[in-house]
Amino acid sequence: MNKLQAHLVERIWMDGPISIARFMAEAMGHPEWGYYISRDPLGRTGDFITAPEVSQMFGELIGLWCANRWQALGAPNPFNFVELGPGRGTLMADALRAAAAMPGFTRASKIHLVETSPILRGAQQRALANIKVQWHGHIADLPPGPSIAVANEFFDTLPIRQFQRKDDGWHERMVAICGEQLRLQLDPAVIPSTPLPKAVQSAPRNAIFEVSPARAAAMSELSQHLLEHGGAGLIIDYGHEHSAPGDTLQAMRAHEYVDPLAHPGQADLTAHVDFQALAEATSGAVNHGPVGQGAFLEQLGITTRAEILQRRATTTQREAINAALHRLTGQDQMGELFKVMAIGSPGQSPPPGFEEI
Ligand SMILES: C[S@@+](CC[C@H](N)C(=O)[O-])C[C@H]1O[C@@H](n2cnc3c(N)ncnc32)[C@H](O)[C@@H]1O
């Protein structure tokens, strides 16, 4: 049993079962043994790979999207260029390099990274060497001023709660103990079904529904900042367009799916993002999408960018660029499951990448 598991077992033994949200918060963010506190999980030697790590094309196109939004906002100088959960800083480095083509963008941008992991803050510092960066632990700590914010695979890491339908109504799924093992069990109390979306209220017996107050709070804070000071946000994540029943809690370790309760603090715990719920938390900001990541990147010109990169590439590099292009945009890869949503303060021209095709 690992130390975090022992800590959770003891705590549940003393205080009773905990929600899945509390379990996720401990597993990912425990100050000593939490997953993101103790390691760099990205890359081939880690547990998973994200789009910016697949290819520079991803961050570059997002940088151009941000430059477009900066112009749409009237080229404010200065402005906050914000990333939520920046991982190794790869996306921000690629975005800044591409957006430098827009005169004035680099000089006006003040980089703000919202990141809780000390290890990943170190990686971000290395990726953004020679660039002045300010780190924050919370969205609420961002300074005032017009902002352009990007969040790739940030919302899926935030804790969710799960409810299951039984004959007498919906019950919360809790993390309990059986001997020294963690296991799921239903809370005996029935929750009121009125706050559940209509599509979910008629779900069949045993259906599972997920909510994420943490995501709603983060989205609401970001939107309020953009509404108050002006700005735009781009959210990219895997998930579903409409709220619907389903158990999407998953754990990844060394690129394999594992039991979400089996390795607390040593496996990446995530759940699919409910984009409808996210849109409902935007506090009056203008929403666009979600659209599939493939369609979004195609509209931003990823195929042309790949062709340009291939001009000076070796055969092996050309093959790698083709593979990355397919990984990022293919319907059977990240092109459809991953979705892109934009938010913004009112009065801006429509953002690129969201046209109906
Ligand atoms: C799945 S990684 C994505 C990294 C990066 N965006 C990418 O695409 O490579 C999640 C990121 O969110 C950060 N993170 C997780 N929970 C967070 C929280 N509550 N507040 C701020 N950052 C958080 C992690 O440390 C990590 O940088």
Q: How far apart are CA 296 and CA 289, in angstroms?
A: 10
- Tell me the average pLDDT of the chain: 96
Strands 161-166 and 169-178: antiparallel
Answer whether 338 contacts ligand 1 (Cβ < 6 A). Answer: no
The pLDDT of residue 134: 98
Answer whether 87 contacts ligand 1 (Cβ < 6 A). Answer: yes
The pLDDT of residue 356: 73
Q: Which of 238, 240, 356, 350 is nearest to 295 (CA)?
A: 356
Q: How far apart are CA 357 and CA 353, in angstroms?
A: 10
Query: In this predicted structure, which of 66-80, 189-203, 286-300 has the lowest mean pLDDT?
Result: 189-203
Would residue 147 be called left, alpha or beta, if left means φ above 0 and alpha means ψ between -120 and 50 degrees? Answer: beta
Tokens of 42: 């990205």
Angle of helix 56-72 relative to helix 302-311, nearest 10 degrees, comes to 130
**What are the pLDDT digits (tens) for 34-82?**
999 888 889 888 888 999 999 999 999 999 999 999 999 999 999 999 9
User: Which of 141, 150, 154, 269 gets mutated to test ligand 1 (max ligand atoms within 8 A of its CB)?
Assistant: 154
Within 8 A by CB and 6+ apart from 33, the residues are 2, 3, 4, 7, 265
**What are the pLDDT digits (tens) for 114-162?**
999 999 999 999 999 999 999 999 999 999 999 999 999 999 999 999 9
Say whether pLDDT at 357 is over 80. no
Q: What are phi and psi of 53, to 5 degrees?
A: -80, -15
Domains and CATH numbers, the chain: 3-29+160-210 (no CATH), 37-158+212-248+268-344 (3.40.50.150)
Task: Report yes or no: 348 and 76 within 8 Å, Cβ to Cβ.
Answer: no
Q: What is the mean pLDDT of residues 260-279?
A: 96
HSE of 320, CA atoms in CB hemisphere, 13 A? 11
> How many CB atoms neighbour CB 186 within 10 A?
16
Q: Which atom of ligand 1 is nearest to the CA of 156?
A: 1
DSSP structural state of residue 316: H
Name which residue sits closest to atom 12 of ligand 1, judged by CA.
85
Answer whether 34 contacts ligand 1 (Cβ < 6 A). Answer: no
In the reported structure, the alpha carbon of residue 61 is separated from the centroid of ligand 1 by a whole-number distance in angstroms of 20
Percent pLDDT > 70 in the chain is 100
Q: How confident is the model at residue 182 (pLDDT cuts 50, 70, 90)?
A: very high
Answer whether 127 contacts ligand 1 (Cβ < 6 A). Answer: no
Name which residue sits closest to atom 14 of ligand 1, judged by CA.
85
Angle of helix 56-72 relative to helix 315-329, nearest 10 degrees, comes to 60
Q: Which atom of ligand 1 is nearest to the CA of 270?
A: 1
Tokens of 44: 């081939």
Q: Which atom of ligand 1 is nearest to the CA of 53?
A: 9
pTM of the model: 0.96
Answer whether 35 contacts ligand 1 (Cβ < 6 A). Answer: no
Answer whether 55 contacts ligand 1 (Cβ < 6 A). Answer: no
Task: Report yes or no: 172 and 19 within 8 Å, Cβ to Cβ.
Answer: yes
| Residue for token pair 């996306």 | 91
Q: How far apart are CA 8 and CA 35, in angstroms?
A: 14
**What are the pLDDT digits (tens) for 219-252?**
999 999 999 999 999 999 999 999 999 999 999 9
Q: Helices then strands (H, E): number in the chain?
A: 14, 16
In the reported structure, the alpha carbon of residue 156 is separated from the centroid of ligand 1 by a whole-number distance in angstroms of 9
